[in-house]
Amino acid sequence: RMQNSRSKPCSCPSLKMREVASMYFTMVAAFLVILVVALQGSAPRESDFPYKVPLDPQGLLELSWNVSYPEQAVHFQLLIRELQFGILFGMSDRGEFENADLAVLWSDGHNSYFGDAWSDAKGQLHMDSQQDYQLLGARRAPEGLYLLFRRAFSTCDPKDYLIEDGTVHLIYGILEKPVRSLQAINVSALHGGLQRVQLLKPNISIPELPRDMKTMEITAPDVVIPSQETTYWCYMAELPEGFPKHHIIMYEPVVTAGNEALVHHMEVFQCAAAFDSFPHYNGPCDSKMKPERLNYCRHVLAAWAMGAQAFYYPEEAGLAFGGPGSSRYLRLEIHYHNPLVFKGRRDSSGIRLYYTATLRPHDAGIMELGLVYTPVMAIPPGEDSFILTGYCTDKCTQLALPAAGIRIFASQLHTHLAGRKVVTVLSRDGRERQVVNADGHYSPHFQEIRMLKEVVAVFPGDELITTCTYNTEDRSRATVGGFGILEEMCVNYVHYYPQTQLELCKSAVDPGYLHRYFNLVNRFNDEEICMCPQVSVPEQFYSIPWNTFNRDVLKSLYGFAPISMHCNKSSAVRFP
């Protein structure tokens, strides 16, 4: 958890200090008694905590926060609507209650206590000798109890979670009975769960918005949310006839009041201009009734995930829509997450687009980086962190980018279910220069378009290298690249300006070298792998006995073998 703290020197207390701290702790605990009633303060303003997310599906726990980069700290405000005997709140690698870093409020029925704790690999709680969740206050209000506390990004405490850019898995647990002590809390019996957020939001100044700005809401038409845990809902909308070219300059979520905990993420796609018309549709995306043609609505205009704010384009660029060569048809997709299986909930959520007829100097574009969707890239079963890398090479950027370069201002990382980490770096003259976007706790269930802290300039001859780390410990056969949910992808959709013809800059291993790998495996193993040309690459991967030798050779093949490069224009035509 401390792997990144080298870059920031911290003064850590010496061991003696720590021993003293832990001896005093039993005494300190007595001072942590919160006399909540006595702490009647004035309510903090909503603007003090600009980011907000419900933690549980019922919306009983609501977290708001702000980020101070000068202080390198996060301030949290947790609203507990129906407090019983306490609450656990914290962070862990992937949302587990084991090896977690926790702030705990608990009551023994007489007094209430607050402290910084950690859980071990068995889920047993321990008070932390270094108290890094600092309680700033608590107050009762008609809607519930507000707890205010602060936590530094990096604390130099090996038991603490290091808060980094990217996804953070927050965990919560509700104490329904009084507990004698912190150690008496049984984590496995708690009513609890997890919520994913990007805690460290970029500190971006909001661009000035033009006077002639208009809005358009693409929202679900009062649909009844199905009473099942997961639903992807599709709704077709269309722009008015003869709608001229405009620039989208910002967008924000519109979430029906009361459904904040159910609307997990939403996307608006534009359909392919090749078709004159698209059928109307309003229903589940996986339904047999969904017209086949809707699969041609894949060009992302806007994407939002729970906890995200409004998305702003930089003032010199906008996303073009409308006008000739642009489809009038849009597809709204909403992911409803309804684990408590509420029945009959109605919803009209969606996305509000802000657009202008006064075009900005540049059209924004979206480019795909990473790996081509092909089965030649595969992950053996039973791997805890298998790495695949896709390249956008210097030859491709040399051909396709303007001399003045492009500016990347946002990025959306994408894998399927086995993805655990994704990072894209910019390399120039053979040296890594800058991280474009990195998520060390990436989750395929939380994919949002993220504004970058700083714009990344990419020039002809630069390389963009995207690396994905996968976990296949729960799988018994190889996972190949492809479009299916049990196949894998490694993609970074980067949002940039000015728009170029380059829509896709990706690679895969050279298929001829993969064929040599299959030959080698055949020679070294007793079992025959059928190498006949009519057997598909996935079938060949599925028949490999995954011993250490076969795994290691595949790893090194991906590391050194020549690559096949895809440097594509929008019409899927390759640059020469």
Annotated active-site positions, please?
Answer: 232, 414
Number of Cα atoms under 13 Å in the Cβ half of residue 443? 16
* Cα dist from 351 to 163, 266, 397, 548, 554, whole Å: 30, 8, 34, 49, 44
93, 412, 227, 234 alpha-carbon torsion, rounded to 10°: -170
Type and span of the H or E element at 157: none
Could you give the CA distance from residue 88 to residue 438 in angstroms, rounded to a whole number? 28
Q: Which of 398, 105, 351 is nearest to 215 (CA)?
A: 351
* Cα dist from 218 to 231, 338, 345, 481, 556, whole Å: 18, 22, 19, 33, 48
Backbone φ/ψ region at 50: left (φ over 0), alpha (ψ -120 to 50), beta? alpha
Give Cβ neighbours of residue 117 (< 8 Å, ≥ 6 apart): 102, 103, 104, 125, 126, 127, 128, 182
Amino acid at 230: T
Q: Which of 366, 350, 411, 347 is nearest to 215 (CA)?
A: 350
* Residue 108, burial from CB neighbour count under 10 angstroms (0-12, 13-18, 19+): middle
Question: For residue 188, which phi and psi values (nearest 5 degrees)?
Answer: -70, -25
Could you identify the residue written with the tokens 């919520």?
A: 195
* Residue 434, burial from CB neighbour count under 10 angstroms (0-12, 13-18, 19+): middle
Could you identify the residue written with the tokens 């047993």?
A: 124
Q: What is the DSSP letter of 284?
A: E
